[in-house]
Structure 1
Amino acid sequence: MSILLHITVNSTANIFRTNTCRLLHRTPFLAQNLNQPVTHKALSLLNKPTILVRTPARNQSSPAFNVNTNVSKDVVLFKYENPKYYNVLNIFGLCQFVFWTYLSHFAFTTLKDAPVQEIPGEELAWYQKINLGENKYRNGITTISFLIGYGILCATWLFTLRSVRYLILRKGGKDVAFVTYGPFNRNRIMTVPLKCISAQESRETARNQLPIKVKNRALYYVLDMRGEFRNPQLFDFTAGLKRKVD
């Protein structure tokens, strides 16, 4: 066993010597400097970190994003089809107006002046002292009831009239048309110059609604984000820009 181990060790040593001699023979510079002492300068060069410098590639700058806004025909920028919702909303507002108007009429015609009779020795609660038939209470209930119904109807109709169904960029790219919902399922169309509208938010940051301000118009025109932007890039460079319109 010891003889076999001795033969294996000698064979390995011979192979190592042969490979080392071949390496030194092929690299004479290394063979000449193996026996020389290592200086501090050489150690500093070995320990010095290597810095890779990458030269920027030429002619790789991305071209400017160019969108042709001078369209040859009308282009739909935005579309939101949900007429059922607005029909239900208008019916709700109309029903509320009828209900509160009837309540107003009922209060004006039914409430009678009936003075409260005080019982000697007994103090009445504050609500028992109120005479609803008195003119100030009767007229107040009548007016408030009518205003509530009228306010609900106006709010539903204004919201409907400011909800954009289609946003269309007109031929030439200088005007934009707002097609909005209307009461009784009738659309309304309004064409204004692009310079007279301003988007209050960008398409990427808007969550539920994207308001658009139109010059000399009260309130905002609203784009529901559940709708479809048919030409998002063209929208961003036309109607989606924020301008100073005031």
Structure 2
Amino acid sequence: MISLLISPLKFALRCSYRPSFSRPLINSKFLSKKALDVNTNVTKDVILFKNPNDKFYKIISIFAVFQFGFWTYLSIFAYTTLKDSPVDTEKAKAWYEKINLGENKYRNGLTLISFLIGWGLLSVSWMYCLRSVKYLILRKGGREVTIVTFTPTGRNRMFTLGVENINCKELRQTAKAHIPLKVKGHSFHYLLDVTKGEFRNPLLFDHTAGLRRDWKS
């Protein structure tokens, strides 16, 4: 009789008892390195990001120059060629036949719009080249970063600043096309093209230039 009572009790205790070694362990492979584990005090200059796609940006610059020339020529052509010729609105049937393109408001408007289109295409294209990062270099000691960008003429433009002056707006792991970098004292963002570029030291980038910083505080 006693054994019949003890058996269920042993079974209940056996089910409720879970030895420590049976608990699921966290695989260290899935743990990201902490900032303290990454040595940012490098002994020499280290390339964090590289995008040596010079041909693409040269094509953009040439395209912008041709577009500027075309639209500038069109604006000059509109200003010098369009003559003021009054239109008989009673005989004109379609709405476009009633427009006198030689009238000052139309001629000057077409001239200005054509020039602004050409100038806008040139400015946007060249600004994109100047804001596209070719090299991102962490300087010796890990406290400064050099940003090298493309230029419309094909030469490199570079400047060096402290790491604390760079604010990364998007994580490297979630970026699909570009990673915008906000730099103190600069109006626009600098762009890292993740589709054509290469992170040479991704872990070091994440803990230096790739950090999101709150400058307001």
- Identify whether the pair has TM-score above 0.5, normalized to the shorter chain: yes
Work out whether 1:206 is the aligned partner of 2:175.
yes
Specify the alignment match of 1:69 in structure 2: 40
**Cα distance in 2 for residues equivalent to 1:217 and 1:153:** 20
Q: Structure 1 residues 198, 118: closer, same or farther in 2, change over 3 A?
A: closer
Which residue identity lines up with residue 41 of structure 1 in the other structure? Answer: L
Pick the structure with greater CA Rg.
Answer: 1
Of 70, 73, 76, 1:99 maps to 70
Task: State the TM-score, normalizing by the size of structure 2.
Answer: 0.86
Which residue identity lines up with residue 108 of structure 1 in the other structure? Answer: Y
Specify the alignment match of 1:52 in structure 2: 18
Of 69, 73, 83, 1:112 maps to 83
Specify the alignment match of 2:214 in structure 1: 244
Q: For residues 62-118 of structure 1, what are the alpha-carbon distances to aligned partners after superposition, in whole Å with 9 as ceiling and x for unaligned?
A: 995512212222211111111010111111111100000000000000000001024
**Cα distance in 2 for residues equivalent to 1:234 and 1:201:** 16
Q: For residues 200-224 of structure 1, what are the alpha-carbon distances to aligned partners after superposition, in whole Å with 9 as ceiling and x for unaligned?
A: 1111111111111111212210111
**Cα distance in 2 for residues equivalent to 1:78 and 1:111:** 53
Of 119, 142, 146, 1:177 maps to 146
Superposed counterparts of 1:7-156, under 5 Å: 37=1, 40-45=4-9, 47-48=11-12, 49-50=14-15, 51-54=17-20, 65-119=36-90, 122=91, 124-156=93-125
Of 130, 137, 148, 1:168 maps to 137
Detail structure 1 runs of 4+ shifted over 4 Å in the superposition.
37-40, 61-65
Work out whether 1:232 is the aligned partner of 2:198.
no
C-alpha RMSD of matched pairs (Å): 2.2
Contact 2:50 2:135 in 1 (8 A): yes
Q: For residues 100-143 of structure 1, what are the alpha-carbon distances to aligned partners after superposition, in whole Å with 9 as ceiling and x for unaligned?
A: 00000000000000010244xx5633222111000000000000
Q: How many equivalent residue pairs?
A: 204
Q: Structure 1 residue 191: deviation in Å?
A: 1.1
Specify the alignment match of 2:156 in structure 1: 187
Q: For residues 1-32 of structure 1, what are the alpha-carbon distances to aligned partners after superposition, in whole Å with 9 as ceiling and x for unaligned?
A: xxxxxxxxxxxxxxxxxxxxxxxxxxxxxxxx
Q: Structure 1 residue 44: deviation in Å?
A: 2.3
Q: For residues 159-201 of structure 1, what are the alpha-carbon distances to aligned partners after superposition, in whole Å with 9 as ceiling and x for unaligned?
A: 0001100001112211111000001211100111111110011
Q: Unpaired runs of 5+ in structure 2?
A: none
Identity percentage of aligned residues:
52
Which residue identity lines up with residue 88 of structure 2 in the other structure? Answer: Q
Instruction: Pick 1 or 2: higher relative contact order, CA cutoff 8 A, min separation 6.
Output: 2
Specify the alignment match of 1:32 in structure 2: none
Q: Structure 1 residue 244: deviation in Å?
A: 2.1
Which residue identity lines up with residue 205 of structure 2 in the other structure? Answer: F
Which residue identity lines up with residue 115 of structure 1 in the other structure? Answer: P
Q: Which stretch of structure 1 is more off in the superposition, 214-223 or 95-104?
A: 214-223
**Cα distance in 1 for residues equivalent to 2:2 and 2:42:** 76
